[in-house]
Amino acid sequence: MTKQYTEDHEWVEAEGGIAIVGITHHAQDALGDVVFVDLPEVGKTFAQKDVAGVVESVKAAADVYMPLSGEIVEVNEALRADPSLANSDPLGAGWFFKVKLSDAGQLDGLMTETSYADLVAKG
């Protein structure tokens, strides 16, 4: 599976119509120490760009946007119990939720690792 990225600093890994979503290294660096995550409800449906959750740190709170339209099929309960996973392993154990895609074509609008790195470099 290949990670893809959004301008809002979320990453997506999709396979078989299910996508795993989390925040990027850049996002967690900007936030600082994450102390709380508000994850979406399983079974809830979101449109692309809807606010699906909130991540709070000692410095700020930030919305987590839906990178793709679909239904939440799982949330990361380990992250809810230990929000610091968003800092220590944002691209792995710190994932936020899984979504059943309603429009897999939306994946074509996401960025590659290279284009995301260019976006971050530009500030």
User: pLDDT for 15-43, tens place per residue?
Assistant: 999 999 999 999 999 999 999 999 999 99
The whole-number average pLDDT for the span 84-96 is 97
Architecture of domain 3-106: Beta Barrel (2.40)
Local confidence band at 123 (pLDDT 50, 70, 90 cut-offs): confident
What local confidence, expressed as pLDDT, does residue 1 receive? 72
With a threshold of 0.85, does the pTM exceed it? yes
Q: Which residues of 22-32 are buried (b: 16+ CB within 10 A; e: fewer)?
A: bbbeebbeebe
Give 95's DSSP letter. -
Q: Are the C-beta atoms of residues 51 and 64 closer than 8 Å to each other?
A: yes
Q: How high is the mean pLDDT of the chain?
A: 96
Instruction: Give the model's confidence band at 80: pLDDT under 50 very low, under 70 low, under 90 confident, else very high.
Output: very high
- The angle at the Cα of 46, spanning 83 to 123, to the nearest 5 degrees, equals 60
Decide: 75 and 40 in contact? Cβ < 8 Å.
yes
Domain borders along the chain are 3-106
